[in-house]
């Protein structure tokens, strides 16, 4: 169909609103090209379009330069973001509130 979008069957109202808000195609053939400076395809060029760089963080060199073991880098990254699985932040598991050695209740403060 010349001059129109070729959409699959639309089943919900939100999709209908989105398709009606798009401009019509006038002249020429529609296509998507992700090419680098030399005219060749590069996935990095497409990635840069869809995922623009985020803000710079001061701790990034800690993860890149100092630690070479991936597990250590991952744990450090979680610690920096405050996402370690601790008693006050259980993550994907239930952590008990009693001491594993003596079975006494653990204090509620650090």
Per-residue confidence (pLDDT) for residue 76, from 0 to 100:
86
More confident residue, 86 or 102: 102
CA distances (Å), origin 81, targets 51, 56, 74: 21, 14, 11
CA atoms of 52 and 89, how far apart (whole Å): 31
In a domain, residue 6? The reply is no
Looking at the structure of the chain, the number of domains it has is 1
In a domain, residue 103? The reply is no
pTM for the structure as a whole: 0.35
In a domain, residue 59? The reply is no
Q: Which domain holds residue 22?
A: 13-50
pLDDT in tens, 2-45: 566 777 787 888 888 887 787 776 766 656 566 666 777 778 77
In a domain, residue 39? The reply is yes
């Amino acid at each position: 169909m010349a001059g129109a979008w070729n959409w699959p069957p639309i089943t919900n109202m939100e999709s209908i609103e989105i398709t009606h808000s798009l401009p019509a195609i006038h002249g020429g053939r529609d296509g998507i090209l992700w090419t680098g400076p030399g005219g060749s395809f590069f996935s990095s060029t497409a990635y840069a379009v869809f995922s623009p760089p985020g803000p710079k963080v001061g701790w990034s060199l800690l993860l890149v330069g100092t630690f070479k073991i991936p597990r250590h880098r991952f744990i450090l990254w979680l610690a920096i973001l405050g996402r370690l699985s601790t008693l006050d932040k259980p993550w994907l598991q239930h952590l008990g509130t009693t001491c594993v050695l003596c079975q006494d209740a653990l204090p509620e403060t650090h």
